[in-house]
Structures are given as structure tokens and as C-alpha cells.
Structure 1
Amino acid sequence: MKRTGNLAIAVLGLFLAQVALAKVEATLDRYQAALGDTLSLTITVTENDENLADIDTAQVSRDFEILNKSTRSSTQIINGQRTHERQLILNITPLRTGSLSIGAFRSGNSSSAPLTIEVSEPVEIDPGAETVLFEAELDRESVYVQGQLILTLRLQQAVNLNQRSISELQLDDAFVLPLEQRSFQRNAGGRPWLVHEVRYAIFPEQSGTLRIPAQSFSAREGSRLRGRLVRMNTPALSVDVLPRPANYPLGATWLPARDLKIEEQWSSDPQQLTAGSSITRSIRLVAEGMQGAQLPPVASTPVDGIKLFPDQPVIGDSEIASGKRGVRTDSAALVATRAGSFTLPEIRIPWWDIEAEQLRYAVVPARTIDVTSSGSPALGNSAATKPSAPVSADQQRDPANPFWQWLAALCAIGWATTALLWWRARKPSQPDVAGHTDSPRLGKSYKSLLAACSANQANQARHWLQQWAGAINPALEGSALADVARQFDDELLTQEIALLDQQLYSANTGAWDGSVLALSVKRLHKSRKKGGKATNDLPPLYPGK
């Protein structure tokens, strides 16, 4: 009976897990359009037993014309768990101007969030004018330093074009991230147009005026070889970059965002914690209009009676309709060393609402945890260890027992393997002496390092400094900051690395300023490019070895 009960519980748990994974999501490819534009509405169902045919789309026809429908599906298996995803894609065009709503779609017990789209008057295009238009557009007239600015390069064509080419955006004083490109149809001036948008998320690194140079476009009209060559340029743009407001808290990480949320998650119920046991607490920051690398670490405050064992943070980015969304998750294992009542203090993260021009706070309230006694001796300052396998009294007394002989042999093999791996790790890796061009990793690490310096995030600056150095010279991969400083042999960089080390490993150092480190890295990065050297020109990591 006990085995049957366990099986029933397992089956019920599997069923509940599948229900929990059920999800319906509706998204639009953009949330601003003109009358006559086409839009793509995607309804996604992630539940194996649901049928897309059951989803009622009649409500869409109230304000939109459905041009066509299509479906697609995909299956993923991650860590042995199978996820099946179905999508219904509707190409639609608005029937009127204004703020139009699309209600929730239901599938089983799940429903999507409602959508809202702003529809403007039709785009005015002179029917006798050019058949190809190329323009640049910014989503705002001013932006805060390290905040997000969206640049859209829009190509509109009423004729067939081949060999289309748009210049790549290059800015020295801003971090540039390409966004997903968009293509749709538009009816304007009495004829259909194909619209293609190339979009960038731009994060200015200093206040003042950010100048965006003219961007160019070229293509051939009609035939690939003999068609008319079309060349067009956008006008140069400029935008005011605002400094950090004076009323923003001193010493706090500067976070200009459209929205910022903080979430707390536990691996199990914290009120069930007993002395000597552990539980994992995760704090997740989600910021709209920021990168994950810009978000600060959220460290749990030590509490007497509870030990903290932090894990590596998980940092990532995703793309949403308004640009980038950064996510950072900091997790720590909490081990109660004794029974009692413990209060975890409030977590309070300041951020700047760029839409309301207002200081706000993301807050996790203080939480009191009642830890009960486990019935075993409370933990002291020693770490908890797993009990070893039981050994009989005869095995303990008899040194000639085969158990001990096998154990000694295994230990000897393990020691020899460890010594071999240590010896190999001491050997320097050979740099790539055959010339190579700058890799995407180098560009990403360089830009992420500058972003971390601009946000005054010492831990992130250390990580990306090591990544940047390793991308330039593979021999520096995973090296200490002191090795990086010695190999570059630059006085200013060495000085700033020493200050960074002091900030990371000394107590009561105050806030860290990454601006000087950013200047030294920029100078070294630019001098490397100007020298025309794509090969490794640094000395070996361990000279003479």
C-alpha cells in the first residue's frame, strides 16, 4: 500500500507540474503603428494537451482586419523535461485610429494578458515623390546618462530592391546593442510599401550632447547588375544626455529605467527551516530599459544565528517591445546554526523612473523566520559536513583489512592525478601567433567593462576586465588582476587595478569610482586598434618558464 501511495503522489505531482507549466502568451511585433500598417500578432501555448483551434480570435475582428493565419510548433527537451510550444500567428491591420485593445486569449485554465496598441493617422507620402525613402528616428529628445535610447533606421520601398545595405552604427561615447529587425507592409499614397526597420538600443556613457552621425543606405533597383544604383543618407542627429539627478541617493548604483521590480523566491517554505538545515533565497531584479550588467548585486545582510553562502549571480538580457530588459538574480544558501526567531532586514533598491522623472524604490519587506530545533546538536562555527559511510569495528582495528588497502590505493591515484593537473595548469597557454581579427567576445567584454565602470560596479568591472584581457591575450585567461596589470605594463591601469582590488577585498573602502579605469581601458583599446595589430603583442604571462 505504501508503494502504491507513493506512486499516486508522484503521478499527482507530475500532473500538477504540467498544469503549472501551462501558459498562454500573446505578443505583438510592435505597439505603435499607423493606419494602413500590418502587424504580427503571435499567440503562444505551452501546454501539451491544448489545441490552438480552441482559441477564440473573433474579438480581434472588432478593430482589426485579419489578413491571414499561420501556425508553427516546436519541442524542447531540457534536463529531461519535455516542453511543447504551439504558436498561432495572425497578420492584422487596424481598422481605425486611437488606442485599440486586444483582450485576453484563453486556453484551458490559462489566459494571456490583454494588449494595447496606439494607431495614428496614415503616413503621408507624396505619390509622385521618390519610390525609396530612408530615415532615422529617435524615441526621445533627451536621455539620462546610462539610460536607454532607441534609434530606428527605417527603409520604405515601393519598388523591388536588390543588394540592400545599411551602414553599421558606430559610437565612441555610448554602448550600442543591435535589436531585432522588423519588416512589415504599409499602404500609403495609394500604393503598397515594404517597410524594413533596423533598430539599436544606445546607452550613453557620459552626460552632454550625444551626436549620431549620418547613416547610409545603398541598393540596386530592379536588376542585380544593371539596375539603377540607389544611395541615400539620413541627417546627423543629436540628443541631450542628462546627468544623474542631484536628489538621487549618494553611493547608490545609478539605475535609470522605465520600470524596475524586485522579486524574492525561496527553495522551500522558510518557516519550515530547522537548526542545521539550509534553504536557498534568491533575489531577482528585473529592469525595463537597462542591461543586466548595469544592475547591482543584492547581498543579503548577515544575521547572527544564520550563515550565508552566496552563489554566483545569474545575469542576462532579453528583448521586449520597448528595447532591452535586464535581469540579475543573486542567490544564497541560508543555514540556521541554532533555533530561534531571526529577522532578515528589508532590502531597498533606489531607481529613477525616466517616464515620471521621479525617484522610486524597489523593496523586499523585512521577514521574520522562526527556526525550530532539529533534535541534533546546533551548528557552531564549523561548516556542516555529510556523515561518512559506517565502518565496522573490525575494519577500524585491522590495518591489513582489504578495505584499507583499496582505500589507500585510491587515495594514491587521486593524489597523482591532482599533481598532474596542477603541473599542467602551471604551464602557460600558447598565444595564437597567427594574426586574428577582433572577435565578438572582445567587443562584448570591452563594452560590458565600460558599462560596469560607468555604473561603478566593482565586481562586474573585475569580471569583464578579466574577460577583456583574456580576449586580447589567451594567456591571460582566468588570471588574477595583478597578472593583467603586469602584462599590460601601463602605469594608470596598474594604479586603477590596485584601487579595484582594494575596493573588493578591503573593509570600509566607501563607494568605488570606475571612471578612471574606463578612461585607461579606452586608451589602451584605441591604441591597440590604431596600431593596426590584430595579433597578440603582449609579453608571455610567465617569462622564462
Structure 2
Amino acid sequence: MRVALFLMLLLMSLLSRGLVAAKVEPARIQIKEQTWWVGQQVPLTVQLRAPGSFSGAAVFSLPEIPRVVIIKRGSPVVSSEEIEGKTWFVQTHDFALFSQQSGTVTIPEFTVRFSHKDGFTGPVHDQSAQVPAAQVKIERPPGSSAQDFLVTTDSFKLKERWDPQPGATEQGAVFHRTISQEADQVTGMALAPPPEAVPAGVWLYLGQPTVSDKTERGAFIGTRVDTLTYQLQEAGTWTLPAIRYQWWDPEKKAFGSQTLPVVTFQVKATTTAEAEAPVVQSNNIVYVWGAVVLLVLGLIFWQWGRIVRLSARLKQRWNPPTRVAERKLLAGCRKNDARAVEAAWQEWQNSQATALVLSSDFQSALQELQRTLYGASSAHGWQGAKLAQAFRAYLCTKQEAASDRRHELPALNP
């Protein structure tokens, strides 16, 4: 009787521990419950739990939310906790959310993949878990429009630099303008781009913006640097309007603004004398070109079979799926077709055999594409020049890296 009672108690204890272990959430999201402002950094954390030490880096499939950007901050912090006498390893990841929509913003459930051991040793187990959905309340400052792109910060710095300084000049002159923004507790991706409107006699070339985030003694600072090149095509007086940057100070609950002044160019016309030299054609040149054409046609007819086979091999070599996707993406950028570019980007990613390491400029251009497709603004106004430039730069960097690896191979017969 006592043996049966002991076995029953032991079985109940094991079942109880199994139920407790089953209740341990492998992934949990935490957001401070308060009302946040549009454009303000909303810190959130995701905690991962495992019965053993973590191995490798966790991969988050962050959701796409209209007019919302979520970025990961810093490196994870590893700790442990005791649950019913069992030690669980905890990995805490910090994120920041920036929303341009107000009201209750819902973060849908998303997937995280990570690896861990059983205790400190043993084989590594891959695990997939769902981060639960969460909500955050976003409030729009009074007096602001729902269509305004709002920056929320208590510290904003703005400066510009001209090379050369604007003034009286001649037709065809080129001026370079650099606009730098810096804001506390705001990612550089959330800072406003410069306006693209210019007078009819001025051409504007926008360079790829430099966007970065840095942490200094716990402070999170975002920066954005835009380079604008103006070419004065026509003579006359041309005026660039003032550029006003506005932000919302959550501490003072007031708007702040800073304005870059109006710039005026007095452009003087230049005269160019073009001397037209008579074109003299000689009969001998005509005969020579005719002989060259006949020779080329004869060679083509003689080697037609080889040319067809060579053409087929070259077509197969120079038109792999990767190259086809690259051309589609660049063609979509030239046509400013955001949806075609998105489809080509997905096709190109699927053709890659290794993980992608993208530059901050490339990531910024892709996020601008995502904000255009899934944000409140129309996709018809998207310009593909920035993404095309970043994509070409990435391809060049990738080719240089491959070339360096080939040069590093040892000689076969040293």
C-alpha cells in the first residue's frame, strides 16, 4: 500500500513539473504601458527562454506594419532565472519602434528562430517560437496633420554647407549642398528627406543619403546627411525656397522648428562659338568601308555554325537567374515602379546562395521602398534612383570581394 502511494505521489510530482515546464513561454514581448507620441522612439524588448545555453544568433522575422519602422538595438543580454527549481537561460533583445500612424498600433505575432543546448553541453537544438502580438498607443500632437512626417525628439540639430558659396555665377555652374540632421532618441531613417522641388532653370541631383545610428553613454542618436547638387542650366535669377524642419518636443509638449534660408542665384548667360568644319568625304574611304563590310559578312557566313553555338553558350552564361533579376530590379528603378522593384528584389534574394550583408545605405533605400509600398503615401510617387545606386554599389562591392578571394588562392605550382 505504501509503495503504491509513493509511486502515485511521484507520478503526480512529475506531471506537475511537466505542466509547469510547458507553461514556460519560449518568447515574450514587453512594452511599457503608456501613451507614446507619433515619431517617438517606443522601446520594446523580446525575451527568449531555453533550458540550456544559447548558440549562435537569433533570427527575427519582423512584421511589416504600414507607416511603422521597427529596428533592433545593440547586442542581446543573457541571464538566467529559476522556475520551479529548474534553471532557464534568458536572452533579452532590445528593439525600437517608430510610428507615423496614431491610435492603437498592433504588432502582429511574428516568428523567431534560435538555437540552444541542453544545459551547458550536449548537441545544439534549433527552435522556432512565436513572439506574441502586442499593442501600443500612439498619440498625435495637437495641431499636426495626419499626413505630416513628424520627428519627435527633445534635441534636434541642423546645419548646411555649400561648396562653393551661392552668389553671382555663370550659366552651367554647379553647386554642392550638404544638409546634416541629428536628433536624440530617433533613428536616422525617421529623419525627413530634403524637398526636391527646384525652379525650371535649375537641375537637381540627389545623392544617396548617409543614415546612421549611434549609442553614446546610453543615449541613442540618429543622423542623416543629404548631398544635393544643383546645376544652373539657364540664365536668369533663380531662387531656392527656404527649407523648414519641424519637430515635436515631448518634454515641453511644444513644436520646435529651424529653417534653412532662401538661396538666390544670379546666372549670367555664356556664349559659345561653335565652328563648323566642312565634312569632306573621300571616295577611297567609301571603298575601304565597303571592303570591310564584305569581309565581315563573309566571315559571318563561313563561321555561322560556330557563331550560333557560341551565342547560345554566352546567352546561358550571361543570363543566369541572378542576372535576370538584377536587370529587372534596375529596370523597375528606372521606371520608378515600386511594385516591380519589390518583386524583382524578392526574386534576386531567392537566387542568392549565401546570406546577405547589406550596407546602411542599401538598407535605408529598401526601407524607403517598404514605407512607400505599405505606408499611407502612394507608390506612384516613389523614385528608384536611390535604390538603384545602392544596389549597384552592393554589386560592385560583392565583385571586389570575390576578386580578392581569387587573388588570395595559393599558386598550384609555387
TM-score, structure 1 normalization: 0.39
Structure scoring higher RCO (CA < 8 A, sep ≥ 6) equals 2
More helix by share: 2
TM-score, structure 2 normalization: 0.49
